[in-house]
Structure 1
Amino acid sequence: MTLPGPPDTPRAEGEGLGNGPPLSDRWIDALPQAVLLTRAGRVRRVNAAAVRLWGVTQERAAGRPVLEVVRRHTLESLLGRGGELELEAGGRTLRCSATHDGDDAALIVEDVTEHRRREAELREATAVLSHEFRTPVAALRGVLEALEYDMPPALAQNFVRQGLQETGRLARLVEDLAVGFRPTRARTLPLAEAFARAERLLSAEVTGRQIRLIFGQDHLVRADPDKLLQVLLNLIENALKYGPGAQPIEVVTAMRGTWVEVAVLDLGPPIPDTESLFRAHTRGQGAAGQGSGMGLYIVRSIVQGWGGQAWAERREGRNAFCFTLPGVGGLG
């Protein structure tokens, strides 16, 4: 590797014409990465990005030991041995690499905070989509399995309608890959419509567990029907999974000013830390079986998208998983 010469290196013919700095200074200062050049353990050059990163001008840095400029033993050691590493500094993620050429060495530091943030968002989006795809895929599988058997035409047509409805949900989820997860198709609808869809999709599981599912008073609300359904399914499925067997699950509603509160109640044991359950990739203590830990995180993300709140509390001896959504002045 040929490293740029120190400030007093003779200029090549044509370099530094006019009143501007030498060409070697101009290209190294144009780099977005912070570059620090050393000779025999002492700094001989820092570029403009390095000045911004470490707050030391070229005049003050030149001739000083490396540690006095970078102020991190980790970087000093890296420069001594060569190689690469990532470190967190001041809330930023820095990718650092060092290389040698005899007594000369170079330390290059790149801020990859935004890159890592985008990677984290992509992982989160993948987890959310994986979780949200599970329900319509399972519903479609149930429809297709039912259609394998002979049945009255009216019943078969009902299954076909369910299959088409879930196919539509899948298509909209695919669109969400590009437009994000906030509700974008809000309309006015009665809660009873969402309750009926949820009850139909969960009927096999409810029947198999011999559990009664009770829905409360109807209200007109303003929401994306698919997102509202996803919230209800996540909360009711959690109650089915973690509540005591053969005990009823109740979905109650109430007006809270201009908002409608919906609460899914089960007779499960008290939950010590309900707030943590709404974090991504978090499951309750003693949770059995497979699970992504994304269900309640998705619930809160969707509800906050339409301006509501989602929380859990202990209510009259039952666990209550609650959310609010905009009301439309009641029915009738």
Structure 2
Amino acid sequence: MDLPSVLPGRADAWMDALPQAVLLFEAGVDALTVMRVNAAATRLWGVPQERAAGRPLLEVVRRHTLEALAERGGELELEAGGRTLRCTAIRAAPGQPGALIVEDITAHRRREAELREATAVLSHEFRTPVTGLRGVLEALEYDMPQGLAQSFVRQGLQEVERLARLVEDLAVGFRPTRARTLPLAEAFARAERLLAPELAARGTTLTFGADHLVRADPDKLLQVLLNLIENALKYGPPGQPVEVATAPRGSWVEVAVLDHGAPLEGTEGLFRAHTRGPHATGQGSGMGLYIVRSIVQGWGGQAWTERRGERNAFCFTLPGGAGIG
């Protein structure tokens, strides 16, 4: 039984039920001629069956790319009107119609992009505890007083706990934030301890502003601080001090990481995913500041950068109260 013989009646119903746009055509003397379009094809090209039947295929699809695909057969992806379309064509044969099948895969491609971005974010978040563990293990290779060794072991266990929480998040999805009230000094002390080897190697000093009570996920707050301070160490002049300033802003607390780097241009774009500054060198994912803004916005705050005198200031806000230091 050939396909034209089953087109009327019940075939119309199952074709119209398909989510893909289907256009059946035959090879005419001068052009491909439309025989049938289903409901999805009518929505896609805006031409109902009664107007499409008998017209040249190009007049219905209005793209030479699709006409050429129908003539030769095969597959391609097409960007049209902000959508991604997967197009498949079966050539017409003697006595048999050809078919052009178009599937909207925009949502699928968007999910793929979101997965790639989530993977980049997770790899960046894993980097911090892994770096901390490496430093601890390298230190424990050497003989040292028992008290100091125990301090390194405690630090390593903290990083193992952070890794365990990240693994749990991977297994069950991103859980609600583990926010609690804590003094900023607690996060500052953790950051300074983790960054001590890099500070010593660069001959740089790191100072912190007044303490404040804040409400945040301690690990996320540490992630923000480490990203911003590491950026300041990496892109600021060697040996120049880095300051972490704090200030109350009503019911919020502002934290600013200040360095002596060159003035920045297009600062808003720095917070986009996979974006690096014009003076960035070496390898990098371009995800650091994007992660910072995502975390800060997650607790309702803001993240931005500005020039303060002779220094660059990378700032963020988080829920807090009155200073306690």
Give a deviation string over 1:20-52, Cα, whole Å, max 9, x none: x72222222221111000012111111111111
Among 299, 307, 311, the alignment partner of 2:304 is 311
Within-5 A mapping of 1:99-118: 99-103=90-94, 104-118=97-111
Q: TM-score, normalised by structure 2?
A: 0.94
Among 254, 258, 261, the alignment partner of 1:261 is 254
Q: Distance in 1 between matches of 2:321 and 2:72?
A: 67
Does the Cα contact within 8 Å between 1:270 and 1:314 map onto a contact in 2? yes
Which segment is superposed worse, 242-251 or 145-154?
A: 145-154
Which segment is superposed worse, 146-155 or 312-321?
A: 146-155
Aligned AA (1:4): L
Q: Distance in 2 between matches of 1:183 and 1:169?
A: 15
Among 148, 151, 159, the alignment partner of 1:155 is 148
Q: What secondary structure, in the 3-state scheme, does the structure 1 residue paired with 2:91 have?
A: strand
Within-5 A mapping of 1:292-311: 292-311=285-304
Among 21, 41, 47, the alignment partner of 2:38 is 47
Among 12, 19, 22, the alignment partner of 1:32 is 19
**Does residue 175 of structure 1 match 2:168?**
yes
**Which residue number in structure 2 is paired with residue 4 of structure 1?**
3
4+ residue stretches of structure 1 with deviation over 6 A?
none
Q: What secondary structure, in the 3-state scheme, does the structure 2 residue paired with 1:76 have?
A: helix
Q: CA deviation at 1:10?
A: 6.6
Which segment is superposed worse, 96-105 or 295-304?
A: 96-105
Give a deviation string over 1:173-205, Cα, whole Å, max 9, x none: 222325656861011111110000000000000
Does the Cα contact within 8 Å between 1:262 and 1:323 map onto a contact in 2? yes
State how many pairs are aligned: 319
Within-5 A mapping of 1:1-332: 4-5=3-4, 9=5, 22-40=9-27, 41-103=32-94, 104-178=97-171, 184-331=177-324
Aligned AA (1:165): Q
Q: TM-score, normalised by structure 1?
A: 0.92
**1:128–1:147 CA distance, 2 compared to 1 (3 A):** same
Q: Distance in 2 between matches of 1:178 and 1:330?
A: 38
Q: Distance in 2 between matches of 1:258 and 1:201?
A: 29
Q: Distance in 1 between matches of 2:132 and 2:59?
A: 64
Q: What secondary structure, in the 3-state scheme, does the structure 2 residue paired with 1:87 have?
A: strand
Which segment is superposed worse, 275-284 or 235-244?
A: 275-284
